[in-house]
Structure 1
């Protein structure tokens, strides 16, 4: 999850200094919609799932990383820290029990996590980083104003929060960009998966006739997730990474993909030095919108996102099609959530 502090840092570094006309959030669904592309889910996607669930050769895959105090953690969210309590009991009984508590951390911004549509908004022009941030001018998916979504600085999201997400039970397509674009190596920092790349991978994986269907989840294995190490002693994973190209975000919106997940920290491509203001925004990004994939998916198209997906095992087994089930926590008014996506599919013979 890329939160406001990152945007402020980039503004101060000059990455957002140019002025651009805001791209108005739009929605193909009726006025008042809060679930975006989740409108494509229902009996049709459940029926597509049934084939994979019923196959006797199917295998289940965990698509999240283990959460721990020593896992890689985003520098733009409060580090997650759990404290483990001693075993205790109840006087007069034979019971003993254990527990733990979260003592700090932004749970929805660490580990494998999912963005709510209300995580991102857009301003009518680029903020110069001076003075108070003009939050009152922000516009969200579906044209919601700041007063509709987050009326005060302390309020939870009144619209577009993570609790609005219905259970995502649908078919998933996995594209192996590590093999196709990296030739067996992880994609490079700042490298982007384009719309043409998606079509080429669909063809290479014999999925071109099927293509992407409304309500599909799209998983893209870049190989960057191979850098996820726990304990995170190198502090490398969150410094940069490959991502999706702007034209690809438009492409998956046209296909009505419900959710996009990559094995990377930012969804957007982040080149070496970009987070420090020493590299330009990704090629093709609209002026003033360096995190154009977040903007397009969340503020315009209503496509959900998962960061830090664990896709290596499924890619190794060449499970290009599967049934996936994704359930974020129903945390009222939150802009994101820890998530445990799973998939059921048949390994290649």
Structure 2
């Protein structure tokens, strides 16, 4: 009996050691892959005449990390965009999108029948799940009073480009910094679940700010502190606000307020050279209830002339891309903290944004 007990105890000990060694080997392998990928990733400064900002980080280094995520045991694909329709929530900053569906028609003398549709009105790159081009935002030297003509000629864009270089013709396309310059974004994504780890399981409130400290807290909670945010990462932040998208009643105020990224968090992501940030919210910026109606101040203190400070800092200063209205609920439910994400904006010449269909491939941790 004593001998059998000793043998069983030894077997358990050996099993535990084997498991520990396996875990250490996996961690060592992950760290080696991360170190190798970072060594392969450009860190700046970016070349003269740059028009892609943090997308300069993309390439073999980020693809290497992607390959590991796609080949992980149990990996699944996740849709990160909402279905586009005439009934989806619409941004008040863009013309509502309206599709017209044509009747089924045929070709005389053939057996063919086919269908089609067209966009009757709206700004596809400003509605639904969409990506902002760096040329979407610029800034003036001082706040415009609202009187007289808007002084567009005084605008400055990412990289110091001036209005005359970017959009000399008021009715013309962007000549620089248009969405056609954005390369295919194929890289690792880090999902930070603010609803779970900051909101205690509840969706964040309108105007609530996700700070740098919050990002560090979430990385720790998800076991990613050793890795952090790597150059070329896409950072996805699940706030829970996106749950309103598919709720007919709650969707009515989806576009009029919401939680968002803090200024120190945006600067932190730029320091880490993240390529893109996306929240399940309409603005990336936090917007307080009543702010858009002039009844409340912007949640973040800063330059009073820049109420959308995150748009300004990401697009016009740091060249950090952003997607609005991401669909992150399924990814968060499965605790897919890291994944390979693929984002392909349309190559619309001179456009300030594009509809996108981001797809993530990763293994559930839950």
Question: What TM-score do you get using the length of structure 1 for normalisation?
Answer: 0.91
Separation in 2, partners of 1:340, 1:198: 25
Verify the 8 A CA contact 1:71 1:230 in the aligned structure 2.
no
Listed as ranges, the matches of 1:51-70 within 5 Å are 51-70=68-87
Residue aligning to 1:80:
97
Of residues 193, 196, 216, the one that matches 1:176 is 193
Query: Partner of 2:58 in structure 1?
Result: 41
CA RMSD between the two structures: 1.2
Q: Name 1:120's counterpart in structure 2.
A: 137
Q: Which residue of 2 aligns with 1:203?
A: 220
Q: Is the 8 A contact 2:50 2:159 kept in 1?
A: yes
Instruction: Tell me the CA shift for residue 112 of structure 1.
Output: 0.4
Counterpart residue number, 1:256: 273
Tell me the equivalent position of 2:283: 266
Indicate whether 1:292 and 2:309 are aligned: yes
Q: Are 1:94 and 2:111 matched, yes or no? A: yes
Question: Residue 149 of structure 2 corresponds to which residue in structure 1?
Answer: 132
- Residues 294-327 of structure 1: CA distance to partner in whole angstroms, max 9, x if unpaired? 0000000001110000000000000000000000
Aligned to 1:314: 331
Quick check: 2:245–2:251 contact (8 Å CA) kept in 1? Answer: no
- 1:53, distance to aligned residue in structure 2 (A): 1.2
Structure 1: give runs of 5+ residues left out of the alignment.
1-26
Mapped to 1, the partners of 2:73 and 2:205 lie a distance apart of 38
Contact 1:136 1:147 in 2 (8 A): yes
Partner of residue 144, structure 1:
161
Q: Distance in 2 between matches of 1:231 and 1:259?
A: 29
User: Which of structures 1 and 2 has the larger relative contact order (alpha carbons within 8 angstroms, sep 6+)?
Assistant: 1
Alignment equivalent of 1:241, drawn from 258, 274, 299: 258
In structure 2, the CA distance between the partners of 1:68 and 1:232, relative to structure 1 (3 Å rule), is: farther
Contact 1:70 1:232 in 2 (8 A): no
- Higher CA-based Rg: 2
TM-score (norm 2): 0.86
Gaps of 5+ in 2: 1-43
Which 4+ runs in 1 deviate beyond 6 A?
Answer: none
User: 1:150–1:264: structure 2 CA closer, same or farther, 3 Å change rule?
Assistant: same
Give, in whole Å, the separation in 2 of the partners of 1:49 and 1:129: 47
Q: Is the 8 A contact 1:60 1:344 kept in 2?
A: yes
CA distance in 2 between counterparts of 1:283 and 1:115 reads: 22
Please say if residues 70 and 230 of structure 1, whose CA atoms lie closer than 8 Å, have aligned partners that are also in contact. no
1:104 and 2:104 equivalent?
Answer: no
Aligned equivalents of 1:285, 1:343: Cα separation in 2 = 35
Of 173-182 and 224-233, deviating more is 224-233
Provide the secondary structure at the position in 2 that maps to 1:235.
Answer: helix
Q: How far did 1:292 drift?
A: 0.5
Query: In the alignment, does 2:265 pair up with 1:275?
Result: no
Shift of 1:104: 0.5
Would you tell me which structure has more helix in proportion to its own residues? 2
**Are the equivalent residues in 2 in contact too, given 1:31–1:142 (CA < 8 A)?**
no
Are the counterparts in 2 of residues 285 and 291 from structure 1 also a CA contact under 8 Å?
Answer: no
